[in-house]
Structures are given as structure tokens and as C-alpha cells.
């Protein structure tokens, strides 16, 4: 059956509420942010209406450009690591009995219940020199002396992956649960090894879900604020940290809004690119 296009205004009622919510909670705030980004800052920490691109010009300096590149690269790396670990984990999770799946899902939800502050300080303790994991490695003979692994880039990456991993699994879980087991059985019957069958059969069938998961984790990691400050050095701070610093501590709302616009545009560009890729692949498949 084909759905007929809307003929009357009443036919648009099912999408009226989502459209209103999208406008109230995204379009209007984003429009206000764009407007403030072209305002001019005045003395005393205030700003006045204007139409200047000085805030964007300042953002395009080498320092802030480097921070933007680092934030995008870190978000992409977190997404890639989460998929690299989460895809085989979720596949094996869906192969377990229902009772064991529930236990693992509850454990993942327990991680989601932790605040970013708790996660940050917990990992800062585990990666410290005095009470961290390095003491355990010294005790078993793998290291000669304890070392501090925080602050550093590896600590920031570890904390963000730990925080984003439950989201990765929960997004992948429904799709892997609906995956037809006969696909793997057919590939194994034709002589494929388990690893090759998984790479050549399962992953291509899940490409849209994998892309959607990458985007979700990417946007989540792009907005990281506390973990880069707790686990990293100033050179490991993301753009979200600088946005908050300019808005709250420097009282420069126009410049903070300009940086926030770049973050939103980068996220929307990634979503648009993924839609173009999936649309092109769908058209080619037809």
C-alpha cells in the first residue's frame, strides 16, 4: 500500500506536535544564538545589537582553529573506538540467553546513571600514581614503579569512551536483535570463517545502523565538557570548554555564541553527509 500525500490541513496534524517541539527547542534557540553571535561586546561584560562578523573572524585564528580541529578529531576517535568495541560486544550480547542479556543491559544502564563528575574523578583515581591501576601492575610484576597516566590525552579518550560506550550498545542492540541468524549460518555453510562472515555479511547489513551510531556518539563526544578538564591538560580541552569559559568566566556571550554556532553547524553537516551517503546507496540499490 502507498501512502497518499496530505490533501487537507488536518492531514498534517500527526506531525504538528513534533514540528512545534522542534521549533521551540531547536530552531528558536539556534536562531537566538546566531543573532547573538553577530552582536558586539561592550565594556562591563554586556553586549549590544550589531551586525559584525568579528566574532567569527576571531574564531578562525590558528589557536581556536586548532581547538576546533582537536575537538572534531577527538569526537571521531571516540566514535570509532566505541564502534570497534561495541559492535562485536553487542553482537555477542544478542546471542546470549534472555536472562543474561537483561543483566548486561542493567549494568549498562547503571553506567548511564553515573554523572560525568563521578566518572571523571573515578578515572582520575584509577589512572593516578598513588592509588591507580599502575600499582596493581607493579604488584603483579608488569611494571617496575607506579606511574601517573592522568592528566593526558589517553585519559581523556578512556573517560569519553567509557561514558559513550553504553549509548553505543543501546543504539546497536535493537538492530542486532532483529538480525536474521540465518545470514551467518548461510555464510558459514559456504565456507566463511566466523570473522570473515561477520565482516562480509553482518557489517554490510548493519551499515545504516553503524553510521547512525557513529553520528550519535560523535555529537555526544563533541559536547564533552567536564571530562577533558578533569582528565586532560589545557591542550586537551574541547571547544565546549572554551565556549563555557567565554560565556561564563570571560562574559563574552557573542564570541561564545559564534563558537557554539560552529559546533552546531559541524554536527548538522555530519548528519547531512550521512543522509546523502545513505540516500545515494539506497538509490543505487534500487
Tell me if 154 sits within 8 A of 231, measured CB to CB.
no
pLDDT tens, residue by residue, 209-243:
898 899 889 988 988 888 999 998 888 888 888 88
Q: According to the model, what pLDDT value does residue 284 have?
A: 46
Round to whole Å and give the CA distance between 230 and 128: 12
Q: According to the model, what pLDDT value does residue 279 have?
A: 61
Q: What contacts 121, CB < 8 A, 6 or more positions away?
A: 230
pLDDT tens, residue by residue, 42-76:
776 677 888 888 888 887 788 888 888 899 899 99
Q: According to the model, what pLDDT value does residue 285 have?
A: 46
Q: What is the mean pLDDT of the chain?
A: 84
Instruction: Supply 184's cell numbers.
Output: 551467518
**Residue 94: pLDDT over 60:** yes
The Cα-based distances of 267 to 157, 191, 227, 256 in angstroms read 20, 42, 20, 17
pLDDT tens, residue by residue, 124-161:
988 888 877 888 888 888 888 888 888 889 999 999 99
Round to whole Å and give the CA distance between 59 and 67: 10
Domains of the chain in start order, with CATH, are 73-237 (1.10.3720.10)
Mean pLDDT of 252-268: 86
Instruction: Supply 16's cell numbers.
Output: 504538528
Q: To the nearest whole percent, how much of the chain has pLDDT over 90?
A: 18
Which residue from 177, 204, 185 is spatially nearest to 104, judged by alpha carbons? 177
pLDDT tens, residue by residue, 175-203:
888 887 777 777 777 777 777 777 777 78
Q: Against a cut of 0.85, is the pTM above it?
A: no
Amino acid at each position: 500500500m502507498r501512502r497518499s500525500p496530505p490533501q487537507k490541513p488536518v492531514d498534517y496534524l500527526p506531525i504538528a506536535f513534533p514540528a512545534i517541539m522542534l521549533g521551540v527547542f531547536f530552531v528558536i534557540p539556534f536562531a537566538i544564538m546566531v543573532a547573538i553571535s553577530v552582536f558586539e561586546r561592550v565594556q562591563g561584560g554586556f553586549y549590544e545589537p550589531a551586525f559584525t562578523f568579528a566574532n567569527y573572524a576571531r574564531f578562525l585564528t590558528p589557536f581556536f582553529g586548532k581547538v576546533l580541529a582537536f575537538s572534531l578529531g577527538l569526537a571521531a576517535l571516540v566514535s570509532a573506538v566505541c564502534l570497534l568495541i561495541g559492535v562485536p560486544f553487542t553482537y555477542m550480547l544478542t546471542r546470549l540467553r534472555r536472562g543474561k542479556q537483561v543483566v548486561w543491559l542493567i549494568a549498562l544502564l547503571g553506567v548511564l546513571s553515573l554523572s560525568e563528575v563521578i566518572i571523571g574523578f573515578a578515572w582520575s583515581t584509577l589512572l593516578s600514581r598513588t592509588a591507580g591501576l599502575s600499582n596493581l601492575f607493579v604488584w603483579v610484576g608488569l611494571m617496575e614503579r607506579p606511574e601517573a597516566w592522568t592528566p593526558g590525552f589517553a585519559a581523556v579518550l578512556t573517560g569519553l569512551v567509557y561514558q559513550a560506550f553504553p549509548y553505543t550498545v543501546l543504539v546497536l542492540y535493537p538492530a542486532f536483535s532483529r538480525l536474521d541468524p540465518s545470514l551467518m549460518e548461510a555464510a558459514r555453510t559456504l565456507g566463511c570463517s566466523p570473522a570473515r562472515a561477520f565482516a562480509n555479511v553482518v557489517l554490510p547489513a548493519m551499515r545504516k545502523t553503524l553510521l547512525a551510531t557513529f553520528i550519535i556518539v560523535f555529537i555526544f563526544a563533541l559536547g564533552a565538557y567536564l571530562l577533558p578538564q578533569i582528565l586532560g591538560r589545557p591542550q586537551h580541552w574541547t571547544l565546549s570548554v572554551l565556549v563555557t569559559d567565554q560565556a561564563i568566566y570571560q562574559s563574552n556571550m557573542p564570541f561564545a555564541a559564534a563558537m557554539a554556532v560552529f559546533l552546531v553547524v559541524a554536527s548538522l553537516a555530519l548528519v547531512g553527509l550521512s543522509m546523502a551517503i545513505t540516500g545515494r546507496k539506497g538509490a543505487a540499490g534500487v
